[in-house]
Structure 1
Amino acid sequence: MEHRITEDEAALYDRQIRLWGLDAQHRMRNASILIAGMRALSDEVCKNIILAGVGSITLLDQEVVTEEDLGAQFLVRREDLGRNRAEAAAEKARHLNPRVKVIVDQEDIVQKPNSYFTQFNVVCLTGCSPEQMIRIDNACREAQTGLYVAGVHGFFGYIFCDLNQHDYREETQETSTERGKEPETKITRRSQSYDSLATTLESTWGHPKPKLLKRKVSPLLFAIQALWLFQQQHGGRLPQSGSQEDLTKLSKLRDERLKSAEVDSTFVKDDLLETLVASASAEISPVCAIVGGFLAQDILKTLSGKDAPLLNYFLYNGIEGTGLVHHVQKLNA
């Protein structure tokens, strides 16, 4: 059943309505979101989306709260140790905005059929294996369900977005030639095509010069893709901090990925991989806040239908303090 925005909600979300418009807020108020994998990054996304006033949000996680979760997560507490992570997080999340329906699902995402994901407007995956990321992306593309995949590994974070074919409106201000007349707002309808995750993993760059390539893409893109290859070959696990053997394996996968992408072998430096391996399983709160804030804002932008969402990778380097957006396709000039 469609939910109409009440006068109380209009007053509560007044600032957002002024920014996005009533129609956009109405779409968000009736949207259903899935957040799979409850970690520090997920907490940031949940907080921002719930406060924005979406219709419902489903938290999916089969794991229980451990000591590691207490470091950066703010939706779980020490007394939640041993409880299901989604259930514990939902209890705190509901207090953020009682108007938003928060649903808990404690099943393993691996056991979920493709049809499960198509009931949502947007699916957001964190902490998933590459195999599941690709499977769910393909299912979402068939159903025209928006997909975001995100993760934080120590000082580094990434977001991938696949909306298949997304329609949105773009507002521009046109200055009138008549003296004293206020600028007019022009609304343009636009459409944007997205590549699947599997397709971007096959992207080639045609052996560009390193300086030219660096203007187009961050070396972190290939480091993250090498990390996914590592997970595929090692049952989904991340490299262990301090393991020279894992670092050697990841370096080999980096070289293979750069070769297949037709990129100079020196583009991704060893020190980047060393830092990535040293903190691959860690979540640093400030990094989660930055990546999670960007991710939540982009999900809301997708739901509102106003302005162009992320196309299609966002890569954050906390050491350099840079966050770069890259459009990655199978064949790049």
Structure 2
Amino acid sequence: MDEAALYDRQIRLWGLEAQHRMRNASILIAGMRALSNEVCKNIILAGVGSITILEHGTVTEEDLGAQFLLRQEDLGRNRGEAAAEKARHLNPRVKVVVDQEDIAQKPDAFFAQFNVVCLTGCSPDQMIRIDHACRETKTGLYIAGVHGFFGFIFCDLTHHDYREEAQEPATERGKEPETTITQRSQSYDSLASTLEATWAYPKPRALRRKVSPLFFAIQVLWQFQQEHGGRLPQSGHADDLAAMLRLRDARLKEAQVDGSFVDDELIQTLVGSASAEISPVCAIVGGFLAQDILKTLSGKDAPLLNYFMYNGIEGTGLVHHVQKTQA
């Protein structure tokens, strides 16, 4: 099939120039998880230039529960290599490369070769390090994860220029509406600076209009990982739950947030499913993430600014603009 015909719907949506930018883009997907499967599927079908899958781990039984790019016969193989074999069949026009090294061994300069870097399953320390490296070279960065019923996305594009289209109503009968194109730009805060944000809202109800309690719960989860060698809390471990509640109290106090804002039930549910990947949650968060990556590459319309929090229990997906200094 001719390439223009293959991507006809996308060209109509984004325009030929935007499709050309995507066709020449290079994307890094670090960490092959169920969420990464969804992202790879969507951006490969959209016709990006190349994807590099960075993964040093091997396929286990747990991976087969939610990762649709893996099969029983892949047990013991490198996760990235096994997933890439199936991913290439989705769109042979997209180059899929596998790098089996550990991301912890990659120098900062490694990430500069990509247009967009997408991290899943990384440790909090690696997230902060790589975000700093990407900001130095103005490389777009997305960090995402799914923990049971909950999912998150963080976006840092450093500084991003994009076009915003709007249709003006026709001034005369019989004439078509006019489309105006406005050039806009947006600056982004680093991951580290958003983690230092203080809120100082006197009442939880007022704060809920600004940010989800899940935003702080995910931060507490990262702090737990930093204190426990990178591992996630385990369901049924009373000591892990106690540690998470202690970290919750300390984080809210540091952020000048009312202690009741993140209740015990949310922390308990997060602890109970932190290491689980639930397919529908991965599909929702992965679909949002892939669409936003494509939006960034196309340069059309504003990408995510700068957090997306998905709560599968409530069925809510909320976007939050978090800065170090909150208004």
- Of 119, 125, 135 in structure 2, the residue corresponding to residue 125 of structure 1 is 119
Cα distance in 1 for residues equivalent to 2:203 and 2:166: 37
Partner of 1:174: 168
Q: Secondary structure at the match of 1:118?
A: helix
Mapping 1:237-252, distance limit 5 Å: 237-252=231-246
Alignment pair present for 1:23 and 2:17? yes
Question: Once structures 1 and 2 are overlaid, which stretch shifts more, 137-146 or 208-217?
Answer: 208-217
TM-score by length of 2: 0.99
Alignment pair present for 1:92 and 2:81? no
Number of corresponding residues:
327
Cα distance in 2 for residues equivalent to 1:9 and 1:253: 52
Cα distance in 1 for residues equivalent to 2:38 and 2:183: 31
Cα distance in 2 for residues equivalent to 1:281 and 1:39: 11
Partner of 1:331: 325
Mapping 1:20-59, distance limit 5 Å: 20-59=14-53
Cα distance in 2 for residues equivalent to 1:215 and 1:181: 42
Alignment pair present for 1:64 and 2:40? no
- Of 273, 281, 303 in structure 2, the residue corresponding to residue 279 of structure 1 is 273
Partner of 2:214: 220
- Residue-by-residue CA offset, 1:58-113 (whole Å, 9 max, x unaligned): 00100000000000000010000000000000000000000000000000000000
Runs (5+) with no aligned partner, structure 1: 1-6
Partner of 1:256: 250
Alignment pair present for 1:156 and 2:171? no
Instruction: After TM superposition, give the deviation of residue 256 of structure 1 in Å.
Output: 1.0
- Residue-by-residue CA offset, 1:23-79 (whole Å, 9 max, x unaligned): 000000000000000010000000000000000000010000000000000001000
Instruction: After TM superposition, give the deviation of residue 206 of structure 1 in Å.
Output: 1.6
Instruction: After TM superposition, give the deviation of residue 21 of structure 1 in Å.
Output: 0.2
Runs (5+) with no aligned partner, structure 2: none
Alignment pair present for 1:296 and 2:290? yes
Cα distance in 2 for residues equivalent to 1:305 and 1:254: 38
The one-letter code sitting in structure 2 at the alignment partner of 1:230 is F
Cα distance in 1 for residues equivalent to 2:74 and 2:320: 39
Cα distance in 2 for residues equivalent to 1:119 and 1:241: 40
Cα distance in 1 for residues equivalent to 2:249 and 2:156: 27
Cα distance in 1 for residues equivalent to 2:204 and 2:108: 40
- Residue-by-residue CA offset, 1:179-235 (whole Å, 9 max, x unaligned): 222110000000001000000000111233211111111100000001011111111
Q: Using the aligned pairs only, state the percent identity.
A: 81
Partner of 1:3: none
Partner of 1:314: 308
Runs of 4+ residues over 4 Å off in structure 1: none
Mapping 1:229-240, distance limit 5 Å: 229-240=223-234
The one-letter code sitting in structure 1 at the alignment partner of 2:294 is L
Instruction: After TM superposition, give the deviation of residue 168 of structure 1 in Å.
Output: 0.2
Instruction: After TM superposition, give the deviation of residue 300 of structure 1 in Å.
Output: 0.2
The one-letter code sitting in structure 2 at the alignment partner of 1:165 is H
Q: Secondary structure at the match of 2:209?
A: helix
Q: Secondary structure at the match of 1:264?
A: coil
Measured on the aligned residues, the alpha-carbon RMSD in Å equals 0.7
